[in-house]
Structure 1
Amino acid sequence: MKGQAREGRFTRTEKSWILYDWANSVYATNIMAAIFPIYFTSVCGQDTTGLQWWGYGTSIATLVVALLAPLLGALGDYKGMKKKLFSFFVLFGVLFTLLMAVFDIWQLLLTGYILSYIGFAGSCLFYDSFLTDVTTRGRMDKVSSWGYAMGYIGGSTIPFLISIGILLAMGMSNPAAVKLCVVLTSVWWGIFSIPMLKNVKQKYYIEKKKAHVVSDAFRNIGSTFRDIFKNKGIFLFMIAYFFYIDGVNTVIHMSTSYGETLNLDQTGMILALLVTQVVAVPCSILFGRLSKRFGSLPMILSAIVLYFCICVLGFYMGFSVENAGGSAESIANAQILFWIMAFLVGTVQGGIQALSRSHFGKLVPPAKSNEYFGFFDIFGKFATVMGPLLISVITAVTGRSSLGILSLILLFAAGAGILFFGRAKIRQAEQQSTQDRNS
């Protein structure tokens, strides 16, 4: 049938949706994880001050999106609204990312980061909810996993390699090189967003009453919240997601800032994160395939267990440097551990995010997918407020950034525990959703 995917092939709509991961992942790599955090920390101060302010800035940005997410989700479910809101946040994020290349003062750099991150996170909210519009329930794991895989190939690895080349050619500490990488990020994100903007359309929606759009949206928020609370499976999955995705996102946001406080080699950290991107490509696809055999929940749980080990390793890395007084030998050993951690993160980072997104998509009614994903996003964003803030506060109180990293194991443990003991309810919710779609 025309428009439907043949077995093993993607439709044009699915390809366009996948390509937005290719487009926006450059922001996640260059601005959130690798190049810009190192630059900001060096501008702000190479002691724990830079780490603290980076954590505060990330928390502020995610808090703003978290507070707006339910309303944005409710508005996005109306006919024609999802694409408009998605387009606004893409343009907002691309613009403020570009403006970051103008600033030199760390306060303005932080402000530009906060605003650009709001655009990035807002676009991702609507992008994730479009998953129910672009494919079938049976193909969600595959399409979502390929989205992350293509993001790692094109959005991360290719522009990341170009950025590394720029930094090596112009100098790692050269502000002009960093600014050029920021411009590259903005241009890449904008150009490769075009297929998504052009080809993906909202398939499921609620008819809009023009006179009462906002008031109806608020009523729908209350209705959806009550439905989520009544559906124990969805509610338990979202609570678990709240905890474990906090750890995942905090690792993404804080890893290089953490390494910078330990005086790790900047070039070494950036190259290690390149390993993360390369490893993540096949592993993201592998997670999608293994989910067919073992199920999404067992694969998510296995990823959480590995993240638990990564946090313990990260604590040991920092603790050894701190106890040795930052000796050359301890820093050299920490650099090796950073590479090992980068490899381990690459094996699970894309998989846990892709399967979380697709599994939630299987649980929710498609006509209200954007609103449900709005609540899904608020749980994730409030968690991301908590993680960086937790690291920043513990680092400030104890003077040891390693103890802040260690605290993340509590979040992973809580998420795993809720998924494991609530797995029966979650499976019931999935079965009920399947029946509702087929009825």
Structure 2
Amino acid sequence: MVTETLPIPLTVPRREVLAWAMYDFANSGYTTVVLTAVFNAYFVGVVAANGADRSGTATLLWTVAMAITNFLVLVSAPVLGAIADHGAHKKRFLAFTTFGCVLFTAALAFVGRGDVALGMTLVILATLMFASGENFIAAFLPEIASQKEMGRISGYGWSLGYVGGLLVLGLCLAYIQSAQARGDVAEQYVPVTLWITAAMFALAALPTFIWLRERAVPHRLAPGENYFRIGFARVRHTLAHARHYRDLFRFLVTLAVYYCGINTVVVLAVIYAQEAMGFTMQENIILIMVVNVTAAVGALTFGLVQDRLGSVRTLAVTLVVWVVALVLAYFIESRAGFWVVANLVGLALGSSQSAGRALVGQFSPPERAAEFFGLWGLAGKLAAVIGPLVYGLVTFLTHGNHRQALLSTCAFFIAGLLLLLTVNERRGRAAAMHPD
């Protein structure tokens, strides 16, 4: 038996849509500061290495931490999603993962030079909570938007997320500049940026927990049953009926492939700028702030286009932009050229992530949204294991050649584009409207 879900209202209150989108605003600070702009570079340049990462060992350690995290999400996401659907626990699980991410992010401030094991452990736990929370908040999308509105609302949330990331980065940059003016070193000012990130996450997520409704109706447990057994049973049922949702599963494979590239760029772009282009931490933060602006524009613009052009066509355009950007990055050696590439990446980043989330929402019956977005999380985190690890191994095997590693990432987007051509968007939507 499945969880019953209340019908989607003809008009969802704007306040509730804003509350849903505010979670993207809240958690983006973690992505930008911890995974993209500050702590990852700090880990490679200070915690795990003395100076520049000449051998590639510190970069490899960072990618191993990301791989472990995403493997944990990979194996847990579908089952936790199915449990959340059956018991109507999406909001409760979201609160738990939010608290965990805030707590472990704040704890990262105590990681210093040489604390490799502590740093890896805490970033694994924080990112596990962050990624699980992403799945739970995404599972609310089919409850607050009709199929024809999912692209717009997903794009709205993703663009607001980049604004949140930009705000947190701006606060961190202001503090770093004042700290450097006092003569402080990274080991003194990076911890404060982590506290800023944790505090902003907690504060900005409050509207989500105040206004966002859980429309799913919990189903009572039968005697002798438990949520974990039901969770596994629901996932087995979905996999046994994969043929009914064949376009969803085709797209999840497609997403896993091109997300290998996206996750690699998100996790390692600043390390590439630092190690291959010679950017300082301050320059990296400014770079990510500018990219956040173009990513927000990309997510919002392509979100509006997506509902008219179609999700598959829109996504195909963004993957072409990815390929062009990474090929240019391999050949460009000037900083001015790298800025052009970075903004192309930003445009493609926001739009491709937003389009992917909306497409999964369109292929998901509302009463099984958390489970299906758990599968989305599984596909994305499988990619997050493979992509960055491939980058780290290529860097290690080429003795620190980040350009060669970046070029290898381009193959993921080309393969994803080819696989996308096998997805039938109309048939996938029809399957969601008539679940098995």
Query: How many Å separate the matches in 1 of 2:403 and 2:286?
Result: 22
CA distance in 2, matches of 1:361, 1:297: 13
**1:327 equivalent in structure 2:** none
Given that residues 88 and 216 in structure 2 are in contact (C-alpha distance below 8 angstroms), is that contact kept between their aligned partners in structure 1? no
CA distance in 2, matches of 1:239, 1:42: 35
Contact 2:88 2:218 in 1 (8 A): no
CA 1:288–1:397 in structure 2 vs 1: closer, same or farther (change >3 Å)? same
1:29 maps onto 2:41 in alignment: no
Q: Identity across aligned pairs (percent)?
A: 25
Report if aligned partners of 1:5, 1:11 keep a CA contact under 8 Å in 2: no
CA-CA distance at 1:426 after TM superposition: 3.5
Structure 1 consecutive aligned stretches of length 4 or more whose deviation exceeds 3 Å: 3-6
Classify the secondary structure of the residue corresponding to 1:228.
Answer: coil
Match of 2:196 in 1: 184
1:175 matched residue in structure 2: 187
Counterpart pick for 2:302 among 268, 274, 287: 287
Structure 2 Cα separation of the partners of residues 432 and 58 of structure 1: 34
- Structure 1: distance between partners of 2:342 and 2:398: 26
Tell me the residue number matched to 1:303. 318
TM-fit CA distance, 1:262: 2.1
Answering whether residue 50 of structure 2 is matched by residue 49 of structure 1, we say no
Cα pair 1:51 1:258 within 8 Å, conserved? no
2: distance between equivalents of 1:89 and 1:15?
20
How far has the Cα of 1:263 moved from its partner?
A: 5.5
Structure 2 counterparts to residues 92-171 of structure 1, below 5 A: 92-104=100-112, 105-153=115-163, 155-171=164-180
AA aligned opposite 1:336 = A
> In the alignment, which residue of structure 2 is the partner of 1:323?
none
Q: CA RMSD in A?
A: 2.0
The residue correspondences of 1:305-324 to structure 2 (distance < 5 A) are 305-317=320-332
Q: 1:53 to 1:337 in 2, by over 3 A?
A: farther
Residue 339 (structure 1) shift: 1.4
TM-score for the superposition, normalised by structure 2: 0.90
TM-superposed CA distance for 1:305, in Å, is 0.8
For the Cα contact (< 8 Å) 1:303–1:352, is it kept in 2?
yes
> In the aligned structure 1, how far is the partner of 2:158 from the partner of 2:64?
27
Q: Which has the higher helix share?
A: 1
> Structure 2: how far apart are the matches of 1:139 and 1:217?
29
Amino acid of the structure 2 residue aligned with 1:88 = F
Contact 2:150-2:307 within 8 A present in 1 as well: no
Shift of 1:389: 0.6
Query: Does structure 2 retain, via aligned residues, the 8 Å contact 1:242–1:380?
Result: yes
The 5-angstrom pairing of residues 326-345 of structure 1 reads 333=334, 335-345=335-345
Q: Partner letter of residue 189 of structure 2?
A: A
Contact 1:205 1:368 in 2 (8 A): no
Give 5+ residue unaligned stretches, structure 1: 318-329
Is the contact between residue 149 and residue 307 of structure 2 (CA under 8 Å) also seen in structure 1? no
Confirm or deny: 8 A CA contact 2:74 2:381 kept in the other structure. Answer: yes
**Equivalent residue of 1:186, what SS?**
helix
Separation in structure 1 between the aligned mates of residue 216 and residue 414 of structure 2, nearest angstrom: 36
Q: Secondary structure at the match of 2:110?
A: coil
Distance 1:5 1:102, change over 3 A: farther
Q: Quick check: 1:197 aligned with 2:201?
A: no
Change (3 A) 1:150 1:5: farther
In 2: Cα distance, 1:359 partner to 1:81 partner: 23
- Name the counterpart of 2:87: 79
Q: Distance in 2 between matches of 1:205 and 1:358?
A: 23
CA separation of 1:313 and 1:259: change in aligned 2, threshold 3 A:
same
Match of 1:88 in 2: 96
Name structure 2 gaps, 5 residues minimum.
1-7
8 Å CA contact 1:51, 1:261 repeated in 2: no
Give the Cα–Cα distance (whole angstroms) in 1 for the partners of residues 231 and 39 of structure 2: 37
Q: Which moved more, 1:385-394 or 1:335-344?
A: 335-344
Structure 2 residue identity aligned to 1:114? I
8 Å CA contact 2:364, 2:372 repeated in 1:
yes
What corresponds to 1:322 in structure 2? none
CA deviations on 1:173-203 (whole Å, 9 max, x unpaired) are 4322111110000000011111112222221
State the Cα deviation string for residues 47-103 of structure 1 (Å, max 9, x = none): 222211111111111111111112111111123321111111111111000101122
Aligned partners of 2:213, 2:364: CA distance in 1, in Å?
19
Paired residues of 1:237 and 1:426 also in contact (CA < 8 A): no
| Superimposed CA distance per residue, residues 229-268 of structure 1 (whole angstroms, 9 cap, x where no aligned partner) | 4432112111111111121121000111122222512122
Question: What is the TM-score with the length of structure 1 in the denominator?
Answer: 0.90
Separation (CA, whole Å) in 2 of partners of 1:292 and 1:71? 31
